[in-house]
C-alpha cells in the first residue's frame, strides 16, 4: 500500500465534522465490535444497509485519516483495526445513550458495600514502597514477605476478581488483587520493577517514578478514582463487545450517584440484527449472571454498592459520579484543602478532604490504623525512629504537623516526637540525611545517597514538585499491535477498476444479457453498487450472492436517495434493463 503523506496521528475530527458515510460506518463498527480489534475479513461480514462493501472500506479509510480508527500490521499484507479506547466514551454518549432507566428502589439486603477504594489501595502501596526497599528475586518478582504485607494493606480482596471472566495482567507469583494493583501502578506510570545502580552493584526493585508520584498526589480523590476506573475499563473488560457496551452503559450520566439500578436493564443487545455471526464471537448477547464479575470488581474497588431485592435480583448504586470516566477520566478537580487532627492519644485523624500530598507526608512517619470515611494514623516510637533513620528528623515532623493541623498540637505529643527522634541510631547509614526542610528537588532514586522519602517537608514547597509538568496524561489506546502511521491510497480499495471498460461506470444503457450478467458479477467481485432499471424505475442494487444453474444474483434493492428500508431480492437474467456500476465518489 502506498503512503499518502497524511499520518494517522494528526488531529482527530469531532463527530460533528464527520461526513454521513463516516458517521454511519463508525456507528456500525462501534455497535458490532466496540473496542475489540477487527480484521478485513470481519469488515467483509459487516453489512450496513444501503452501503456497498467498497463504501464501507472507504469509510474505514476516511475514519483512519480522521483518527477514529487505528490500524496495525499483523504481518505480510494483513491488518488489524480498532477504535481507540479513549474514544469509546464519546461514541457511547453519541450513539448509545440510554433511554430513561427507572430506579430499582431500596434493596432488601445489602450484599456488598463498596470498600475503602482502589485509590487508597494504590496510595497505601505507594507509601509502603517508599518506606520499604521492595527488592525482587532473580525471577523479577517481589519477595514473599512483601507480597504478604501488600495483601494485608489492600482492601481489595481475591473474591472481588474473577480471572476466568475479567481480563487483566496476572502472575503466578501474585494473588490476583496484588497483580492488579501492581499493574495499575505501572499503567499510571507511578512505579515499575527496574534496575538501580551501577552494573557491579546493580539492585532490582519496585521503583517509584517520583515526578509522576508528585503529579498523582496533587490530584483530588475524585480525579484519582476516575483515572483508575478508566484504566480498569480498558485493561479488565472482556473482549466480548456486548460486555464492553455494558461496561460503558454503566457510566451513563443518567445513572447518578446514590440511585439504585437494576443492571439487567443495561444488557440490551449491542449489535444490529442484520449482522452475521462470523465464528469469531464478535456477536453475542450478555446475560445478567455474566455481568456480575464486573459489578463485584467495581464494589471491591469502592465504586459501587451491591444489593439484592426481594425477588433475588441484584441491584447496584454508584458511590461516585462516573461521568468523567465516560470521556477518559482525565478531568482534574481541585485537591481538597482540609487539615488533619492530632489527638492526645497520638492518633492522627485525616478527613477525606485532606490533600494527598499532606496525607502522604504524614503517612511516612506514622502507622496506618484504618481507612474509612476518615483515615486514622498513629504516631509511635517505631514510626518516628524509622523516619529519623531515613532522614526525616523530629523538627521536620513537628513543622509538618504544625502547618497541617486544623486544631491544637498537644504538648506531650510534641515532646514525645522529639524524644523518639533523638533515640534513633545515628550510627546507621542514613541515605536521606541530605534532605533539607523545604527542599523541593526530587532525588532520582538511582544514587545510593538519595533519600527514600523524596517529598519536600514544607507544605509551601510541596507544589514545587510539579512545577514542571511532564505533559498531560497520555491517551489510553487499545491498539492491537504497533500502530501503522501510513494511510493507503484510496485507489488501492479498487485495484481492478482500471481493468473494466470505462463505459460500465459512465453510460446508462442496456447491454446484451451476457454482458449484463458479467457486470453484475464484476460488481459483486468489487463490492460496489449498481444502478439498474426495473419496470422503468431507477433503483440501486448491492449484489450479495451469486447463484448458478440457473444464473441468479441476490442482493439489496432500494430506490436511490430515499431513507426507506432495503429489500432483499433475487434477480434472474432479463429482469432489469439499463444499468451501470456505481463507484464510490472519492474513488
Write the CA distances from 87 to 8, 247, 476, 536, integer angstroms.
15, 14, 9, 46
Mean pLDDT of the region 56-77: 89
Burial of 411 (0-12, 13-18, 19+ CB in 10 A): exposed
Residue entry with cell 497505601: 124
Give 122-136 pLDDT, tens digit per residue: 999 999 999 988 888
Share of the chain above pLDDT 70, in %: 79
Mean pLDDT of the region 318-344: 75
Give 357-375 pLDDT, tens digit per residue: 999 999 999 999 999 889 9
**Could you tell me if 400 and 459 are in contact, meaning their C-beta atoms sit under 8 angstroms apart?**
yes
Distance CA 464, CA 371 (A): 28
pLDDT at 170: 77
Q: In this predicted model, which residue has the larger pLDDT, 97 or 154?
A: 154
**Could you tell me if 243 and 286 are in contact, meaning their C-beta atoms sit under 8 angstroms apart?**
yes
pLDDT at 443: 33
pLDDT at 284: 60
Least confident of 16-20, 413-417, 555-559: 16-20
Cell numbers given for 535? 419496470
Residue 12 — pLDDT band, cuts 50, 70, 90? low
pLDDT at 438: 33
**Could you tell me if 421 and 384 are in contact, meaning their C-beta atoms sit under 8 angstroms apart?**
yes
- Please state, as a whole number, how many other Cβ atoms lie within 10 Å of the Cβ of residue 550: 7
**Apex 228 CA angle, 88 and 175, nearest 5:** 115
Polymer length of the chain? 587
Mean pLDDT of the region 489-511: 83
Residue 159 — pLDDT band, cuts 50, 70, 90? very high
Distance CA 50, CA 24 (A): 11
Q: 325 pLDDT exceeds 80?
A: no
Q: 4 pLDDT exceeds 70?
A: no
Residue 331 — pLDDT band, cuts 50, 70, 90? low
Helix (H) or strand (E) holding 569: strand 567-572
Walk across the sheet containing 579-582 and list its strands: 567-572, 552-558, 537-547, 529-534, 579-582
Residue 47 — pLDDT band, cuts 50, 70, 90? very high
pLDDT at 449: 36
- Please state, as a whole number, how many other Cβ atoms lie within 10 Å of the Cβ of residue 410: 14
pLDDT at 315: 94
Residue 432 — pLDDT band, cuts 50, 70, 90? very low
Residue 453 — pLDDT band, cuts 50, 70, 90? very low
Per DSSP bridges, beta strands 552-558 and 537-547 are antiparallel
Mean pLDDT of the region 83-106: 88
Q: In this predicted model, which residue has the larger pLDDT, 549 or 480?
A: 549
Q: What is the mean pLDDT of the chain?
A: 82
Residue 31 — pLDDT band, cuts 50, 70, 90? very high
Residue 342 — pLDDT band, cuts 50, 70, 90? very high
pLDDT at 163: 87
pLDDT at 567: 94
Distance CA 353, CA 362 (A): 15
DSSP state at residue 265: G
HEC readout, 54-107: HHHHHHHHHHHHCCCCEEEEEECCEEEEECCHHHHHHHHHHHCCCCCCCCCCCC
Mean pLDDT of the region 280-299: 79
pTM (predicted TM-score):
0.83
Q: 549 pLDDT exceeds 80?
A: yes
**DSSP codes of every residue in 362-427:** HHTTSEEEE-SSSEEEE--HHHHHHHHHTT--HHHHHHHHHHHBSS---HHHHHHHHHHHHTS-TT
Q: 332 pLDDT exceeds 80?
A: no
Distance CA 251, CA 101 (A): 13
User: HSE (CB half, 13 Å, CA atoms) of 354?
Assistant: 26
Residue 196 — pLDDT band, cuts 50, 70, 90? low
pLDDT at 321: 83
Residue entry with cell 446508462: 508
pLDDT at 475: 41
Sign, CA dihedral 575-580-584-587, equals positive
Distance CA 532, CA 538 (A): 6
Q: What's the N-to-C CA distance of the chain in angstroms?
A: 15
For the chain, domains (ranges, CATH) are 1-84+479-493 (1.10.10.10), 102-332 (no CATH), 341-466 (no CATH), 496-582 (2.30.30)
Three-state SS for 187? Answer: helix
pLDDT at 155: 95
pLDDT at 400: 94
pLDDT at 333: 62
Distance CA 511, CA 520 (A): 11
Q: In this predicted model, which residue has the larger pLDDT, 563 or 262?
A: 262
Walk across the sheet containing 304-308 and list its strands: 109-112, 304-308, 314-318
Mean pLDDT of the region 202-216: 85
pLDDT at 126: 96
Give 222-260 pLDDT, tens digit per residue: 999 999 999 999 999 999 999 999 999 999 888 989 999
- Please state, as a whole number, how many other Cβ atoms lie within 10 Å of the Cβ of residue 583: 21
Mean pLDDT of the region 21-38: 95
Q: 385 pLDDT exceeds 70?
A: yes
Distance CA 522, CA 462 (A): 70
Distance CA 39, CA 56 (A): 13
Please name the residues in contact with 101: beta carbons below 8 A apart, sequence gap of 6 or more.
252, 254, 255, 261, 265, 266
**Apex 302 CA angle, 299 and 304, nearest 5:** 50
Amino acid at each position: 500500500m502506498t503512503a499518502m503523506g497524511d499520518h494517522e496521528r494528526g488531529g482527530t475530527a469531532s463527530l460533528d465534522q464527520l461526513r454521513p458515510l463516516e458517521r454511519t460506518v463508525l456507528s456500525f463498527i462501534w455497535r458490532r465490535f466496540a473496542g475489540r480489534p477487527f480484521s478485513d475479513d470481519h469488515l467483509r461480514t459487516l453489512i450496513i444497509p444501503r452501503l456497498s462493501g467498497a463504501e464501507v472500506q472507504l469509510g474505514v479509510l476516511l475514519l483512519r485519516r480522521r483518527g477514529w480508527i487505528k490500524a496495525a500490521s499483523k504481518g505480510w499484507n494483513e491488518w488489524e483495526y480498532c477504535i481507540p479506547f479513549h474514544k469509546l466514551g464519546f461514541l457511547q454518549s453519541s450513539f448509545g445513550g440510554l433511554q430513561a432507566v427507572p430506579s430499582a428502589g431500596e434493596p432488601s439486603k445489602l450484599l456488598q458495600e463498596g470498600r475503602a477504594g482502589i485509590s487508597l489501595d494504590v496510595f497505601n502501596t505507594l507509601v509502603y514502597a517508599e518506606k520499604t526497599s521492595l527488592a525482587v528475586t532473580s525471577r523479577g518478582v517481589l519477595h514473599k514477605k512483601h507480597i504478604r504485607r501488600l495483601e494485608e494493606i489492600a482492601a481489595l480482596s481475591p473474591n472481588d476478581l474473577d480471572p476466568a471472566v475479567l481480563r487483566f495482567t496476572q502472575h503466578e507469583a501474585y494473588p490476583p488483587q496484588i497483580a492488579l494493583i501492581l499493574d495499575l501502578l505501572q499503567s499510571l506510570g507511578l512505579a515499575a520493577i527496574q534496575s538501580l545502580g551501577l552494573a557491579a552493584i546493580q539492585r532490582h526493585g519496585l521503583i517509584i517514578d517520583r515526578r509522576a508520584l508528585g503529579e498523582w498526589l496533587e490530584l483530588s480523590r475524585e480525579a484519582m478514582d476516575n483515572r483508575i476506573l478508566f484504566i480498569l475499563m480498558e485493561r479488565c473488560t472482556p473482549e466480548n463487545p456486548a460486555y464492553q457496551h455494558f461496561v460503558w452503559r454503566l457510566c451513563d450520566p443518567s445513572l447518578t450517584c446514590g440511585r439504585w439500578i437494576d443492571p439487567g436493564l443495561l444488557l440490551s443487545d449491542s449489535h444490529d440484527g442484520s449482522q452475521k455471526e462470523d465464528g469469531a464471537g464478535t456477536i453475542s448477547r450478555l446475560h445478567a449472571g455474566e455481568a456480575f464479575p464486573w459489578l463485584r470488581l467495581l464494589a471491591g474497588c469502592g465504586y459501587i454498592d451491591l444489593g439484592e431485592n426481594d425477588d433475588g435480583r441484584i441491584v447496584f448504586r454508584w458511590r461516585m459520579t462516573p461521568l468523567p470516566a465516560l470521556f477518559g477520566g482525565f478531568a482534574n478537580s481541585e485537591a481538597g484543602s482540609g487539615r488533619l487532627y492530632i489527638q492526645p492519644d497520638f492518633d492522627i485523624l485525616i478527613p477525606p478532604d485532606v490533600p494527598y500530598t499532606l496525607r502522604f507526608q504524614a503517612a511516612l512517619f506514622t502507622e496506618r490504623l484504618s481507612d474509612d470515611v476518615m483515615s486514622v494514623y498513629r504516631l509511635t516510637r517505631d514510626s518516628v525512629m524509622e523516619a529519623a533513620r531515613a532522614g526525616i528528623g523530629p523538627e521536620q515532623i513537628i513543622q509538618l504537623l504544625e502547618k497541617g493541623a486544623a486544631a491544637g498540637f498537644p504538648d506531650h505529643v510534641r515532646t514525645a516526637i522529639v524524644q523518639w527522634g533523638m533515640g534513633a541510631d545515628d550510627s546507621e547509614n542514613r541515605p536521606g540525611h541530605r534532605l533539607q526542610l523545604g527542599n523541593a528537588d526530587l532525588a532520582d532514586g538511582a544514587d545510593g545517597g538519595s533519600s527514600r522519602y523524596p517529598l519536600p517537608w514544607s507544605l509551601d514547597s510541596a507544589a514545587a514538585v510539579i512545577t514542571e509538568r511532564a505533559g498531560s496524561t497520555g491517551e489510553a489506546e487499545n491498539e492491537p499491535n504497533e500502530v501503522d502511521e501510513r494511510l493507503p491510497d484510496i485507489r488501492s480499495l479498487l485495484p481492478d477498476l482500471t481493468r473494466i471498460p470505462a463505459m460500465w461506470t459512465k453510460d446508462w444503457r442496456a447491454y446484451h444479457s451476457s454482458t449484463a450478467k458479467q457486470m453484475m458479477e464484476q460488481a459483486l467481485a468489487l463490492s460496489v453498487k449498481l444502478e439498474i432499471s426495473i419496470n422503468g424505475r431507477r433503483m440501486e442494487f448491492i449484489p450479495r450472492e451469486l447463484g448458478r444453474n440457473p444464473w441468479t444474483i441476490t442482493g439489496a434493492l432500494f430506490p436511490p436517495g430515499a431513507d426507506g428500508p432495503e429489500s432483499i431480492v433475487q434477480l434472474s437474467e432479463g429482469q432489469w434493463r439499463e444499468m451501470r456500476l456505481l463507484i464510490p465518489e472519492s474513488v
